[in-house]
Amino acid sequence: MLNRRSVLLTSLAAGVAMSTRAHARASQPATPVNFDVPPHACDCHTHIHGDVEKFPFFAGRVYTPEPASPEEMAALHKALHIERVVIVTPSVYGTDNSSTLFGMKARGANARGVAVIDDKTTEGQLDTMQQEGFRGIRINLATGGISDPDVGRARFTAAAERMKARAWHVQLYTTLPMISAIKDLVLASPVPAVFDHFGGLEASLGLEQPGFADLVALVKSGKAYVKISGAYRSSKLAPDYQDMVPYARALITANADRIVWGTDWPHPDSSHVEGRKATDIAPLYQIDDGRLLNQLPVWAPDADVRRKILVDNPARLYGF
C-alpha cells in the first residue's frame, strides 16, 4: 500500500507541476507599476498564440512558441493598468491572422490588430479586416534573417502602395542597416512606417552606430513611428536595461508624437539556438513587464509626454 500510495502522490505532484506549468508559460508582472498610468493607455505590441489544434502554426516557421492566451493577456494588462491593446500576427502563423483576430475579439473595442498578408490577400479580405479592427500590415524581415536591401525596398514599396487606399500603416521588424536602406522610401511613403523594438538597434554599439541617426531623422520628420518595446532584444543589461535610456530619450526628443510603447508579450524567442529545430518548442522569455513599464518614467520623465506615448499616439495610429 505504501508503495502504491507513494506512486500515487508522485503522479499527483507531477500532474500539478505540469498543470501549473501549463498555466504559467507566458510571463506575468512581478513588480507593481510605480507611476500613474493614464486612462486609455495602450500596449502597442503583443501576440496571441492560440490553441494549436484551432490555430495551427505555419509549416515554414523558424521557431515554435509556447501558448499565450487572451485570458493571460487580460491578467497582464489588469496588473499594468493598461486598457487598450494592439495584437500583431507573429511570423509563426504565416499569413493566417485568425489567432490574432481571436485575441482581438476577446478584448472587443479596446483591441486593434496588425496583419500579415501576401499577394493572394484580396481587397475584399482587407475590407473585412478593416471592419474587424486591423489597422496595419507587418513586414517581418528580422525573424527570417532577411538583410538584402533590395528585398527590403521591394517589399516596403509594394506594401505602402497597397495600403495607401485605406490609410493603414506598414510595420517593419528589421535592423538599422535596413532602415538606412529604405529611408528615402519611408520619407516618400503615402502611409506611415512603424518600426518595431527600437528599430532593431544594438545598445552596446552606442548612439553613433550606423543607422540610428537615420531612424531618429525619420521619427523627427513625422513619417515614421518607433515602438519603444522589447528593450531586452537590444540590451543584455537585464532587468532594467539601463543602456537603453539614451536611445529612448533620443527618439522621444526627436518627436514625442511618433513614439508608442509595447510589452512584446508573451516575449517569444525566435533566436537561433544550436540543435533546436523549428518544430521544437522555444520557451517564452520570462520578462517582468511591471519592471519594464516602470522604465517609461525614466525614459520620459514628463507625464504629458508619457500620455502622448501611451494614449494619444496609439489613438491616432490605430484609430481608437
Give the number of residues written for the chain. 320
Report whether pLDDT(254) > 90: yes
Which pLDDT band holds residue 260 (cuts at 50, 70, 90)? very high
Mean pLDDT value of segment 201-228: 98
When mean pLDDT is compared over 19-28, 142-151, 165-174, the highest value belongs to 165-174
Report whether pLDDT(69) > 80: yes
Mean pLDDT value of segment 188-211: 97
Q: Which CATH class is domain 42-318?
A: alpha beta
226-230, 246-250, 269-273, 308-312: which has the minimum mean pLDDT? 269-273
Q: Name the percent of the chain in helix, strand, coil, to the closest 5.
A: 45, 15, 40
Report whether pLDDT(98) > 70: yes
pLDDT for residue 14: 35
Report whether pLDDT(80) > 50: yes
1-15, 23-37, 45-59: which has the minimum mean pLDDT? 1-15
Which pLDDT band holds residue 146 (cuts at 50, 70, 90)? confident
pLDDT for residue 23: 45
* Average pLDDT of the chain to the nearest whole number: 92
Give the CA count within 13 Å in the CB-facing half-sphere of 94: 12
Which three cell numbers, joined as nine digits, stand for 287?
520578462
Question: To the nearest whole percent, how much of the chain has pLDDT over 90?
Answer: 90
4-13, 130-139, 209-218: which has the minimum mean pLDDT? 4-13
* DSSP per-residue codes, 88-105: E--GGGTT--HHHHHHHH
pLDDT for residue 142: 86
- Identify the DSSP state of 49: B
pLDDT for residue 13: 33
Residue-wise pLDDT for 158-194, tens only, equals 999 999 999 899 999 999 999 999 999 999 999 999 9
Which three cell numbers, joined as nine digits, stand for 64?
515554435
Cα separation values, 27 from 65, 86, 149, Å: 13, 18, 35
Contact 216, 251 (CB under 8 A): yes
Which pLDDT band holds residue 8 (cuts at 50, 70, 90)? very low
Backbone φ and ψ of 244, nearest 5°: -85, -15
Backbone φ and ψ of 78, nearest 5°: -65, -45
Which pLDDT band holds residue 145 (cuts at 50, 70, 90)? confident
Report whether pLDDT(107) > 60: yes
CA–CA separation, 92 and 278 (whole Å): 10
pLDDT for residue 144: 82
* DSSP per-residue codes, 160-223: HHHHTTTT-EEEEE--HHHHHHHHHHHHH-SS-EEESGGGG--GGG-TTSTTHHHHHHHHHHTS
